[in-house]
Structure 1
Amino acid sequence: MTMTREQLARYVDHTLLRTDATPADVRALAREAADLGAFSICISPSLLADVGPLPDGLALATVCGFPSGKHTSAVKATEAAQAVADGADEVDMVIDIGRLRAGEHEAVRADVEAVRRAMPETALLKVIIESAALTDLEVVAACRAAEAGGAQFVKTSTGFHPAGGATVEAVELMARTVGGRLGVKASGGIRSWADAVAMVGAGATRLGLSGTAAVLAGAGAGAGC
């Protein structure tokens, strides 16, 4: 597919979720995101209050139940509500993939719904399913549970799971499953222009990138330019 640098930038959640990130780091991230034309920044919830006023047109995203998903639903719901109160426009929550793999799909749906109900309707909820750690059938089940729970997006990965991050195949499967009713965020291991464009071509409507500048610098070089 053909995309400009500016078009691809608007897919990007410019991400900094390192455990050693400082308030100064997230303020620098916001400035860089604005310069690059990204859609949003995605930072840890403890740093939301430190980022300061954002440039016009830049959304603020954070994570919830991150990165294990093993928090109780009540804890995730409280964390999400606090994040929105602290300024987040979007929350990326992690499901308990162990329960999903155990076939407890209703528990996963209820987990998503608890977080969704704790957030105002104006805030957007993305659900991280760790697609690389799941079978195709489990990916489909996770997407269905996320949709039934009221999420607006499904997302491939935290970027912290040893199984890996986003793949074109997983994004295609997720996009087919949600059928345009939900967005699809590809995140984890996307490090080149070609990778990013391939994810969009597979159906991703948002990209989680930590190396955004390097990815966008590849515009015009190779496939998809």
Structure 2
Amino acid sequence: MADLSAFPITRRWPAQHPDRLQLYAAPTPNGVKASIMLEETGIPYEPHYVNIMENETWNAEFLSLNPNGKIPAILDPDGPGGKPFALWESGAILLYLAEKSGKLLPADPAQRYEAIQWVMWQMGGLGPMFGQLGFFHKFAGRDYEDKRPRDRYAKESHRLIRVLEQHLSDREWLVGNDFSIADIASLGWVRNLIGFYEAGELVAYDELVHVPRWLERGLGRPAVQRGLNIPAKPD
């Protein structure tokens, strides 16, 4: 049985199954990247709910694993060289799990880097812009009298989602003919934009054709449906 006692995070979130990969997350657009990926690949794992509304990512145990204080993070008891391995940043986790499982990352070198390209695009653009739009539209930012910040992020989000629309105009998935980490990276963010953030009107989502079809296909996958609700908030 794997010994994870050297990792302080396991004192706050004890591992009931230490031989399984440990996931520390919440069902946010970034968090579900990891849970969807784990459900899609079939890698055995144990999810731990991290309450970001209670600032649990800023306690000493979580920071010992991820000094950046953000979810998701993982602890793999069977990491490189068979040793326990901790990793954070959702894009890095997608790549790690793809390589560990041999799934959802094209084997063809050109398509492999194309998939990585779209993951980086989401990490550097789509996610941050949608997140800021959500803040200024739905949360505390909506009370700001000055609407220029909201409009700035709405304009850039409008542009970014049309990059996605154009790319999907002649294909079902972002890379090649198959669902991949490129799709996983963006699915949760587009879903949140029009759902939780209620910002579809700000980006004229109803004008789009290909993105809604792609989103419906992605959300229709059983593993995606499961991953969107993992880790579940404890009762």
Fold conserved (TM > 0.5)?
no
Instruction: Kindly indicate whether structure 1 or structure 2 has the higher relative contact order, using CA contacts under 8 Å at least 6 residues apart.
Output: 2
Specify which structure has the higher proportion of strand: 1
Q: What's the TM-score once normalised by structure 1's chain length?
A: 0.31
Specify which structure has the higher proportion of helix: 2
Q: Which has the larger radius of gyration?
A: 2
